[in-house]
A and B are shown apart, each in its own frame.
Chain A
């Protein structure tokens, strides 16, 4: 898969409407992102919040009146909790953040009794990037949730990203563990974690992918650099997944590409029982649409 529009095509081809519960659908940002997918017929949004605020926004898109449902709940906290409950009870397939503040939203997701994260699961974030100068989609993690992932969290990031790649039809994704160099160096502790993760994959403790690291971005994504440096790596400059050592690096990497390389993305919270969409307002319209399309694919039980 090379382009994010293929994710939308796949979502359409599912032939069913994915039910998305939106916590506080009171802003144009969320509703605008949902409108296109709704009109294309592959989602059915459940809009929670104050009906008097939602109605004028949704009406401006001229959607058929039966293509969405408004659930009136003027209290912000209650609306958020209810959205989570809808997903828990199976009345909705995907949870999406609307106007509610991110902390409150995540608190509801993380709630031990009534949330969406099973005990002991790592919550993370992964997104697929479409980059004009890279000839396949590039899944990266973690740009948003885990700040300084430890070994177990890195393993979870890999497993989530691999599951996403599988959903996108990449049977044996190539996972590159990103550092500044390909050498194992105790002075850069992340390289030690990477060496361990490689061995775990080699021993079958991490499945469904090919892993190598530490590698720098060049060795991960540029076959020419691999040739020049003469480093034998099964990634061979054709990575499908990049795992970053920390949030600053991953976040700067993707934002740089959005800004300077005309990238688009489709990302989701990882680790939850059902997909959770959290989009920033600064994301492009196209990226928001792709996030929703991706959530539809990921909501399908494998």
Chain B
């Protein structure tokens, strides 16, 4: 089934075996409540790595029975992160989530060469799925958080993760728009060059499973009427994109925040590229958004 609303992820997950999520340094109300809600919704099993006593106390304060979680004791944020990653590597968990520790420490545990979650040569990237008001389907896009200025090779990797994520959402042949400021290939706009190259690679079957086009400006990617006015109505991606590749973090991050703050729309995100999906929510995210991120990671977990 093609998921067109974020809520529909729950319906799909309900039909599948539950995935085991491991939350690293899950000692704060934000994390424990998010995992608790996911567990109570029946979409995951929750493993909380952290100080056993604190977890029990915080759970009780938030009217959660600690017994719904499996708790693995850890003394500090650092040891919790290492332990959480170890659990994944031992096959005792299916995906990872960040608790109260800093993003930096969380990422370092994932990226650790000996004990982390990276295969050689793998590239970590941040993929967002949004349900923007006024758009007729979900939008998967990246990278808004990890790779500041992706080069051609990294853009290809991100494009492939966007496509993969769309496939997990049940979109058989997603349409990917490669963002630039114009649909023309212009020497002073390096994003337009990379976009043209990636589009050609897709045409040659070097990128599979999607219809890819670019360079395209945002209006062309999202709005049929703009495409018609600019004579691009025949373009299969225009006005009907499932995915957007942003040329840099500034444009991606701005779009992300516009969706959340101006459109007041829900979204969720996952870090792709490690051996398992990694949830990286921030305290600024809404409760709903955290739950969606867990669901998105669960959809992608093997």
Spell out A's residues near B (CB within 8 Å): 151-152, 182-184, 186, 192, 194-196, 198-200, 203, 205, 231
A151 to B187 CA separation, bound complex (whole angstroms) = 9
A196 to B198 CA separation, bound complex (whole angstroms) = 10
A200, B204: Cβ atoms closer than 8 Å: no
The 0/1 profile, CB within 8 Å of A marked 1, for residues 180-214 of chain B is 00011101000001011101110010100000000
Given A195-B200, A195-B201, residue A183 in contact with residue B184 (CB < 8 A) = no
A183 to B206 CA separation, bound complex (whole angstroms) = 8
Of B153, B184, B204, which contacts A205 at CB under 8 A?
Answer: B184
A184, B183: Cβ atoms closer than 8 Å: no
A137 to B196 CA separation, bound complex (whole angstroms) = 30
A184, B185: Cβ atoms closer than 8 Å: no
Q: List 16 A-B contacts (CB under 8 A).
A: A183-B206, A184-B197, A184-B200, A184-B201, A184-B206, A186-B152, A186-B153, A195-B197, A196-B197, A199-B195, A199-B196, A199-B200, A199-B215, A203-B184, A203-B185, A231-B204
Given A186-B152, A203-B183, residue A196 in contact with residue B193 (CB < 8 A) = yes
A196, B204: Cβ atoms closer than 8 Å: no
A200 to B199 CA separation, bound complex (whole angstroms) = 12
User: For B183, B184, B195, B196, which residue has the most chain A Cβ atoms within 10 angstroms?
Assistant: B196
Please indicate the chain A residues that have their CB under 8 angstroms from the CB of B204 in the complex.
182-184, 231
Size class of the B contact interface (CB-based, 8 Å): 10 to 19
Known: A184-B206, A195-B197. 20 other contacts (CB 8 A): A151-B187, A152-B187, A183-B201, A186-B152, A186-B153, A195-B199, A195-B200, A195-B201, A196-B196, A196-B197, A198-B196, A199-B200, A199-B215, A200-B184, A200-B196, A203-B183, A203-B184, A203-B185, A205-B184, A205-B185
> What's the dominant secondary structure at chain A's contact region?
helix
A120 to B45 CA separation, bound complex (whole angstroms) = 68
> What's the dominant secondary structure at chain B's contact region?
helix
Please indicate the chain A residues that have their CB under 8 angstroms from the CB of B195 in the complex.
199
Give the distance to chain B from A174, nearest Cβ to Cβ, in Å.
Answer: 16
Give the distance to chain A from B205, nearest Cβ to Cβ, in Å.
Answer: 8
Give the distance to chain A from B229, nearest Cβ to Cβ, in Å.
Answer: 15
Please indicate the chain B residues that have their CB under 8 angstroms from the CB of A151 in the complex.
187
Please indicate the chain B residues that have their CB under 8 angstroms from the CB of A195 in the complex.
196-197, 199-201
A152 to B188 CA separation, bound complex (whole angstroms) = 13
A199 to B184 CA separation, bound complex (whole angstroms) = 8
A200 to B215 CA separation, bound complex (whole angstroms) = 10
A199 to B191 CA separation, bound complex (whole angstroms) = 13
Please indicate the chain B residues that have their CB under 8 angstroms from the CB of A183 in the complex.
201, 204, 206
A199 to B193 CA separation, bound complex (whole angstroms) = 9
A184 to B185 CA separation, bound complex (whole angstroms) = 17
Give the distance to chain B from A215, nearest Cβ to Cβ, in Å.
Answer: 10
9 interchain residue pairs of minimum CB distance: A195-B200, A199-B196, A184-B201, A200-B185, A195-B197, A199-B185, A196-B196, A184-B200, A203-B184
A152 closest partner in B (C-beta): B187
Please indicate the chain A residues that have their CB under 8 angstroms from the CB of B197 in the complex.
184, 192, 195-196
Please indicate the chain B residues that have their CB under 8 angstroms from the CB of A182 in the complex.
204
A198 to B215 CA separation, bound complex (whole angstroms) = 12
Given A183-B206, A184-B206, residue A199 in contact with residue B187 (CB < 8 A) = no
Please indicate the chain A residues that have their CB under 8 angstroms from the CB of B215 in the complex.
199
Give the distance to chain B from A193, nearest Cβ to Cβ, in Å.
Answer: 10
User: For A152, A192, A194, A196, which residue has the most chain B Cβ atoms within 10 angstroms?
Assistant: A196
B215 closest partner in A (C-beta): A199
Please indicate the chain B residues that have their CB under 8 angstroms from the CB of A186 in the complex.
152-153
A195 to B156 CA separation, bound complex (whole angstroms) = 15
A230 closest partner in B (C-beta): B205
A197 closest partner in B (C-beta): B185
Give the distance to chain B from A217, nearest Cβ to Cβ, in Å.
Answer: 17
Please indicate the chain A residues that have their CB under 8 angstroms from the CB of B200 in the complex.
184, 194-195, 198-199
Give the distance to chain B from A243, nearest Cβ to Cβ, in Å.
Answer: 15
A151 to B195 CA separation, bound complex (whole angstroms) = 16
Please indicate the chain B residues that have their CB under 8 angstroms from the CB of A203 in the complex.
183-185
A194 to B193 CA separation, bound complex (whole angstroms) = 11
